[in-house]
């Protein structure tokens, strides 16, 4: 892994850097809402999963869902964060048509989870190298989601669907430790991988079950270091919040645009307004949504209908003992157990399905070869076709069968690619395809020697050249492979050529 280098944007008056903190809203995996027994099922008809509590009917009192509290604790432990034995719910007052109470029940001064830290791996891009950086977690708190306003069903009316109203959310707030668009996307990916592994959120960004708010500001080089030393936010520029981002690509595009927008304003003599902005993926630009409120604008106060939440250390210890293997632990195991690279291990543990697929392919086989085929050939095909792993036409067992044929020299790597293409086309298992099309590798040294002798005899000038420059042996290898229809064993070809040519 390489060192972390500053992400610099060139402005008209000099260099600028970006500083970001993120707020990730992860929907808690639970059958019922945070303060009611209403269903959290996705896709129900509008206003069907709504209890009297969710609709804010007079006299209705919230009751905390123990499962949601447990899921928050599990997530906090997965973030290596402090679990607070005492926490409290507050009312956050603001008006939206889809917020029937006129306030949101959230946590402010006393969250259920305190400070933590995770390591974030950033994939190489634009010729760069992979690296990792630590990102501090400021807090995780529980809160209820709002409903949904629908503006496109009638030109003169807004419709309200309260199915999401009251659904439990975990808001995971980072410190401003994220320094580039790529780092922001990598951070969200890491949080997503953790909550999926824990089973505390399904991470489905298309459904809005995991979304991020990105607070973006810019500063001159060196100012961020002063902020880290002093804690004084005055060293950083005014931040703007990019709201409800649910795509890794859009996150990066929005940050890039927003940072340059702020730089242009400052260099033009203007002042950046603290506000909440939305990203338009069609125009690839951000636009103002509303002025950004501060905490005092929400008039937080303890919710009078809910007692403070007090949990016991023994319960936390019990939850901790039940935690599954987390992404960092799985990555370390893949590196040590399978001998694969840090980067390949990171790709494979990106989600549980990928990791399980790889382990099936690699079981009892050449793990490094399996990793190459899964990450390059299979994932390359899926990305090109826009398919998910679950839609792969080649199962893990089937790909494992192909790996086995390469490992025992039944077929070469080149032939394997042809077999793989036929597997994708639906021709069946690798062994059957090899048998049907006569694709077995030629390992008979006598047969290979005959081809080698013919190639050498027909190319005396090339023979003299390879003796002067042994590195040109590849030309002969290519000719022999071509003459054998790609079926000759490459290792045997190299050995026989070297012996015949005296190399």
Task: Write the CATH number for 465.
Answer: 1.10.10.410
DSSP 153: S
The pLDDT tens digits of the residues spanning 242-282 come to 999 999 999 999 999 999 999 999 999 999 999 999 999 99
User: Worst-scoring range by mean pLDDT, 58-72, 216-230, 439-453?
Assistant: 439-453
The pLDDT > 90 percentage for the chain reads 72
Rounded (5°) CA angle 494-498-501: 135
Domain count, the chain: 3
Evaluate whether 19 touches 236 at the Cβ level (below 8 Å).
yes
Shared domain for 130 and 259, answered yes or no, is yes
What confidence tier does 116 reach under pLDDT thresholds 50, 70, 90?
Answer: very high
Query: Is 306's pLDDT higher than 90?
Result: yes
Shared domain for 284 and 332, answered yes or no, is no
The CB-based long-range contact list for 468-472 (8 Å cut-off, 24+ gap) reads: 470/503
Query: Is 138's pLDDT higher than 80?
Result: yes
Evaluate whether 147 touches 101 at the Cβ level (below 8 Å).
no
CA proximity to 17, closest of 6, 1, 25, 3 = 6
Kindly state the average pLDDT of the residues 55-68: 95
- 232 vs 487, residue with greater confidence: 232
Q: Which residue has the tokens 């001064």?
A: 109
Neighbours of 269 (CB within 10 A): 6
Whole-number pLDDT of residue 408: 83
Whole-number pLDDT of residue 368: 94
386 exposed, middle or buried (CB, 10 Å; 0-12, 13-18, 19+)? exposed
Q: What are phi and psi of 449, to 5 degrees?
A: -60, -40
Whole-number pLDDT of residue 192: 95
What confidence tier does 160 reach under pLDDT thresholds 50, 70, 90?
Answer: very high
Query: Is 503's pLDDT higher than 70?
Result: no
Whole-number pLDDT of residue 456: 83
Q: Where are the beta strands (DSSP E) in 305-403?
A: 309-310
CA proximity to 219, closest of 172, 282, 272, 280 = 272
- Alpha carbons within 13 angstroms on the beta-carbon side of residue 492 total 22
Shared domain for 143 and 282, answered yes or no, is yes
The pLDDT tens digits of the residues spanning 430-457 come to 999 988 887 776 655 666 777 777 888 8
Q: Quick one: tokens of 94?
A: 């603001």
CA distance 19 to 92: 27
Residue 2 within a domain? no
DSSP helix, strand, coil percent of the chain (3-state; round to 5): 40, 20, 40
Whole-number pLDDT of residue 126: 57
Whole-number pLDDT of residue 125: 65
Shared domain for 374 and 485, answered yes or no, is no
Residue 3 within a domain? no
Query: Is 292's pLDDT higher than 70?
Result: no
Kindly state the average pLDDT of the residues 62-88: 98
Secondary structure of 224-279 in the HEC alphabet? HHHHHHHCCHHHCCCCEEEEEECCHHHHHHHHHHHHHHHHHHHHCCCCCCCEEEEE
Whole-number pLDDT of residue 441: 66
Shared domain for 399 and 481, answered yes or no, is no
Residue 153 within a domain? yes
Contacts of 11 (CB under 8 A, 6+ apart): 263, 267
Whole-number pLDDT of residue 264: 97
Kindly state the average pLDDT of the residues 300-315: 96
Query: Is 1's pLDDT higher than 70?
Result: no
Whole-number pLDDT of residue 455: 80
Q: Phi/psi class of residue 471: alpha, beta or left (left: φ > 0; alpha: ψ in -120 to 50)?
A: alpha
Helix (H) or strand (E) holding 15: strand 14-27
CA distance 350 to 192: 9
Q: Which of 75-89, 452-466, 473-487 ranks highest by mean pLDDT?
A: 75-89
Whole-number pLDDT of residue 342: 87
CA distance 74 to 194: 10
Shared domain for 161 and 24, answered yes or no, is yes
Beta-sheet pairing, 275-280 with 240-245: parallel
Last residue of a domain, one of 289, 318, 347: 318
**The overall pTM is greater than 0.85:** no
Q: Quick one: tokens of 350?
A: 């990106």
Residue 1 within a domain? no
Shared domain for 229 and 362, answered yes or no, is no
Residue 339 within a domain? yes
Whole-number pLDDT of residue 493: 73
Whole-number pLDDT of residue 80: 96
CA distance 384 to 396: 19
Collapsed DSSP state (helix, strand, coil) of residue 309: strand
Last residue of a domain, one of 415, 437, 459: 437
Mean pLDDT of the chain: 91
What confidence tier does 490 reach under pLDDT thresholds 50, 70, 90?
Answer: confident
Helices 352-362 and 327-338 cross at an angle (nearest 10°) of 20
The pLDDT tens digits of the residues spanning 331-388 come to 999 999 999 998 889 889 887 889 999 999 999 999 999 999 999 999 999 999 999 9
Shared domain for 229 and 96, answered yes or no, is yes
Q: Quick one: tokens of 120?
A: 């974030």
CA distance 85 to 88: 10
Q: Which residue has the tokens 């603001």?
A: 94
Residue 58 within a domain? yes
Shared domain for 425 and 451, answered yes or no, is no
Shared domain for 240 and 177, answered yes or no, is yes
> In which domain, by residue range, is 109 found?
8-318
Shared domain for 265 and 366, answered yes or no, is no
Let me know how long the chain is.
503
The pLDDT tens digits of the residues spanning 173-214 come to 999 999 999 999 999 999 999 999 999 999 999 999 999 999
Rounded (5°) CA angle 210-106-95: 90
Beta-sheet pairing, 159-161 with 86-87: unpaired
Helix (H) or strand (E) holding 140: strand 131-144
CA proximity to 7, closest of 196, 164, 185 = 185
Residue 50 within a domain? yes
Whole-number pLDDT of residue 445: 66
Residue 268 within a domain? yes
Kindly state the average pLDDT of the residues 24-48: 96
Shared domain for 131 and 19, answered yes or no, is yes
Whole-number pLDDT of residue 18: 97
CA proximity to 136, closest of 22, 245, 10 = 22
Residues β-bridged to residue 395:
none
The pLDDT > 70 percentage for the chain reads 95
Last residue of a domain, one of 318, 342, 375: 318
Query: Is 394's pLDDT higher than 90?
Result: yes
């Amino acid at each position: 892994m390489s060192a972390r280098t500053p992400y610099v944007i060139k402005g008209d008056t000099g260099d600028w850097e970006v500083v970001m903190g993120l707020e990730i809203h992860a929907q808690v995996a639970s059958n019922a809402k945070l303060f009611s027994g209403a269903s959290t099922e996705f896709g129900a008809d509008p206003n069907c999963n709504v209890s009297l509590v969710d609709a804010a009917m007079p006299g209705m009192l919230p009751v905390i869902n123990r499962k949601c509290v447990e899921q928050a604790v599990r997530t906090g432990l997965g973030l290596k964060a402090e679990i607070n034995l005492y926490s409290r719910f507050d009312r956050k007052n603001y008006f939206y048509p889809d917020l029937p109470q006129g306030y949101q029940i959230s946590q402010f001064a006393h969250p259920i989870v305190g400070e933590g830290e995770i390591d974030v791996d950033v994939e190489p891009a634009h010729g760069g190298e992979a690296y990792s950086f630590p990102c501090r977690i400021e807090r995780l708190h529980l809160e209820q989601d709002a409903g949904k306003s629908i503006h496109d069903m009638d030109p003169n009316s807004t419709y309200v669907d309260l199915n999401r109203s009251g659904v439990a959310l975990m808001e995971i707030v980072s410190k401003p430790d994220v320094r580039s668009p790529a780092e922001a996307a990598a951070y969200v990916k890491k949080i997503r991988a953790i909550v999926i592994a824990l089973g505390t959120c399904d991470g489905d960004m298309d459904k809005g079950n995991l979304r991020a708010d990105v607070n973006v500001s810019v500063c001159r080089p060196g100012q961020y270091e002063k902020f880290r030393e002093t804690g004084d936010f005055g060293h950083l520029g005014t931040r703007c919040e990019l709201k409800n981002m649910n795509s890794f690509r859009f996150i990066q595009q929005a940050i890039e645009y927003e940072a340059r927008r702020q730089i242009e304003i400052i260099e033009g003599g203007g002042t950046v307004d603290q506000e909440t902005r939305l990203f338009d993926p069609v125009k690839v630009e951000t636009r103002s949504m509303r002025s950004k409120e501060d905490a005092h604008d929400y008039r937080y106060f303890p919710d009078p209908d809910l007692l403070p939440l007090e949990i016991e250390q023994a319960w936390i210890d019990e939850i901790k003992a039940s935690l599954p293997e987390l992404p960092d632990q799985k990555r370390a195991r893949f590196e040590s157990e399978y001998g694969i690279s840090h980067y390949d291990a990171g790709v494979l543990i990106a989600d549980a399905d990928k990791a399980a697929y790889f382990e099936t392919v690699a079981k009892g086989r050449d793990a490094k070869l399996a990793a190459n085929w899964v990450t390059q050939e299979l994932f390359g095909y899926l990305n090109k076709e826009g398919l998910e792993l679950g839609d792969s036409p080649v199962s893990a067992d089937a790909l494992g069968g192909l790996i086995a044929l390469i490992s025992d020299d039944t077929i070469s790597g080149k032939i394997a690619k042809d077999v793989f293409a036929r597997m994708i086309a639906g021709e069946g298992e690798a062994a059957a395809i090899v048998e049907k099309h006569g694709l077995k590798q030629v390992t008979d040294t006598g047969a290979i020697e005959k081809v080698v002798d013919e190639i050498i005899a027909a190319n005396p000038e090339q023979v003299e050249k390879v003796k002067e420059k042994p590195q040109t042996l590849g030309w002969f290898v290519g000719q022999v492979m071509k003459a054998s229809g790609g079926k000759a064993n490459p290792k045997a070809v190299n050995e026989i050529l070297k012996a015949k040519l005296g190399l």
